[in-house]
Chain A
């Protein structure tokens, strides 16, 4: 294909993928920033929320409680940069982990607060117990991750042509 036709492709109307991907990136970044901020501000509260899941050894709870929000923060910020594919993959992996944890808790019938947006709400007595709605929300977020990955792949393919 000639360079001229490549220029023609790049100057054409933005595809539906690209138009849908920008809001998806903004929503994902907003959700993960909103989730990371309270956890970073109160890691002890989030550690207590994690401990209730009884999915990690007690010794590792503090480590998980500080590493997870830091990864969420980095992923959310990087999603707004050209490193969006790596960021989307990182957030996708985190989401898959969260979804598995929620699904296991639901299957085991554990009545536990989600702690998805930190442990402060739980401590205030306004716990957000894990429910199938949380799973549904995560599936929606995973769909947004897939949209971002699909768009960036399509864009890369256009540039290669």
Chain B
């Protein structure tokens, strides 16, 4: 790899980054830095799960 190759790589990378930033700027719906994704919001509680009655487990003889 020569210095000439590295210069080409740097110019092309800069061009790509510039194009990408321009593309991002032209998309108002897509913020530059996205808000962190919430694992679980306060308005939406985690789904409840039903406990299986202990008797049904005992009837199986503990096979499960």
Contact = CB atoms under 8 A, between A and B. Distances in A.
Interface of A: 40, 43-44, 47, 51, 57-63, 65-75, 78, 83, 85-87, 89-90, 93
A86 B14 CA distance: 12
Nearest to A93: B9
Q: Which 3 A-B residue pairs are closest in the complex by CB-CB distance?
A: A86-B8, A70-B20, A71-B16
A86 B1 CA distance: 10
B27 A59 contact: no
Interface string B32-60: 11111100000000000000000000000
Contact of B32 (A51, A62, A74, A87): A62
Nearest to A91: B12
Contact of B34 (A61, A70, A90): A61
A62 to B, nearest CB: 5
A90 B16 contact: yes
Contacts of B12: 74-75, 78, 83, 86-87, 90
A59 B33 contact: yes
Contact of A63 (B1, B11, B24): B24
Contacts, number: 87
Given A61-B34, A86-B7, A90-B9, 20 more contacts: A43-B27, A47-B30, A57-B36, A58-B35, A58-B37, A62-B34, A63-B24, A66-B21, A67-B17, A67-B24, A69-B20, A70-B17, A73-B19, A74-B12, A83-B8, A83-B11, A85-B5, A89-B5, A89-B9, A90-B13
Nearest to A51: B37
A47 B34 CA distance: 10
Interface centre among A47, A51, A63, A69 (most CB of B within 10 A): A63
B8 A89 contact: yes
Nearest to B13: A90
B5 A67 contact: no
B29 interface: yes
Nearest to B22: A70
A70 B31 contact: no
7 contacts: A59-B36, A66-B27, A67-B16, A73-B16, A78-B12, A83-B8, A89-B5
